[in-house]
Amino acid sequence: MNNQKPAVHKPIVKEAAAALLEIFVGGAHADKVIERCMRQNRKWGSRDRRQFAEIVYDIVRWWRLLLVTVLKADLSSDISLTDCEQLVSSYLNGFDLPSLQAKATTEAIRQSIPDELFDLLKSELGADVGKILTRLNQRAPQFLRVNTLKATRDSLGVKLRAEEIQTAAVESVATALRLAERKNVFITGAFKQGFFEMQDAGSQLIAPLLGVKPGDRVIDACAGAGGKTLQLAMLMKNQGRVIAMDIHQRKLDELTLRSRRAGASIIEPRLIESTKVIKRLHESADHVLLDVPCSGLGVLRRYPDTKFKFKAAELDRLADTQRDILSRYSLMAKVGGSVVYATCSILPSENSGRVREFLEANTGAGLARFELEEELHVSPLDTDFDGFYAARLRRKSL
């Protein structure tokens, strides 16, 4: 954001300002607003779409800093459409981000984050908070996960090059490719044929932690739309059974479509309609994945508006949900089976703290029902990946 931007058509400028108003005054999620605007403007070309998304996401990312330095306002100020238009104009005319940050009177403003959240992060992350926020304020790279049921990483790279998309292999993640520049990969033949999924490279490290093998019975208990579910089926070479569970039918419906495209026939979507659904599966799985609801603070690069919607009080509700899922859903693992607890958070309280709390609650009379085998910490400070945590637990007894 340090130089003047290329010429942008007026309709895009207008839509960007309206989108910002909807996000910060209407409370809508940025990704949903951007997706809807693109559907409504089907005549936009790829350049128009890319410019629109970059304008909105960049301004959302630096919202507080821009309010303070450009509008002389702050997060509590009433914001109008005219204000949003002024911010878009300022962004397009170009400005020096380091110079704007130099005008900030606090570190929270410099990092463009609410005071409450900054204080929370500082209390949990300590001296590294500034460095971590600097990384989380950068644009997120695009990573792909090759679907080895249909392709190899090398053959996928060749297919994408034929469609004028350049990629590079990620050395530390065997299934990951990184895009050289942002592209709409969902219109490619390679995507439509199911050769890959869009998935952060750090996220790709979680499913392998379960240690699945062909023929296993696996439960993905918080499957959502199924990114990790599809990866599990791939790791199992499409042999065995993956039960994908969620409380939202629409997400499971999306997973069904993605499964067909990926050629993953061992996935069984199952709606969690009541506690009985979980009880019926007690002691039935070789492996259980618990990708639990969390603050999402590890993926701020992809969802920068999260930091402005987050409330510290929400952590209490999330903590109760995480405890409940760990205590009840872990019982679906057989004795000797593994349970992986995972988040996209960088808060130790949601990660290792929650796991240790669970282990203590399941230890009595000198006997432990579960034991910790391995922890995975993926930090945006050390990698170009998003922030993730995962812990593999082994069930030792009933």
Homologous superfamily (CATH) of 143-198 is: Sun protein; domain 3 (3.30.70.1170)
Classified by CATH at the fold level, domain 203-395 comes out as Rossmann fold (3.40.50)
What is the chain's alpha carbon radius of gyration, rounded to the nearest angstrom? 22
pLDDT computed for residue 5 by the predictor: 67
**Residues 6 or more apart in contact with residue 319 via CB below 8 angstroms:** 349, 350, 354
CATH 3.30.70.1170 domain span(s) along the chain: 143-198
Per-residue pLDDT of 218-276, as tens digits, reads 999 999 999 999 999 999 999 999 999 999 999 999 999 999 999 999 999 999 999 99
Per-residue pLDDT of 363-396, as tens digits, reads 987 788 999 999 999 999 999 999 999 999 999 9
pLDDT computed for residue 4 by the predictor: 61
Per-residue pLDDT of 305-348, as tens digits, reads 999 999 888 999 999 999 999 999 999 999 999 999 999 999 99
CATH 3.40.50.150 domain span(s) along the chain: 203-395
Per-residue pLDDT of 178-198, as tens digits, reads 999 998 999 999 999 999 999
pLDDT computed for residue 313 by the predictor: 87
The dihedral through the CA atoms of 51, 26, 120, 391 has a sign that is negative
Residue 3 has pLDDT above 60, yes or no: no
Q: In this prediction, what percent of the chain has a pLDDT beyond 90?
A: 91
pLDDT computed for residue 57 by the predictor: 97
Instruction: Quote the pTM value.
Output: 0.94
> Do 19 and 33 form a contact (C-beta atoms < 8 A)?
yes
Per-residue pLDDT of 119-144, as tens digits, reads 999 999 999 999 999 999 999 999 99
Could you give the 3-state DSSP secondary structure of residue 315?
helix
Instruction: Please tell me the distance from the alpha carbon of residue 182 to that of residue 235, in angstroms, as a whole number.
Output: 28
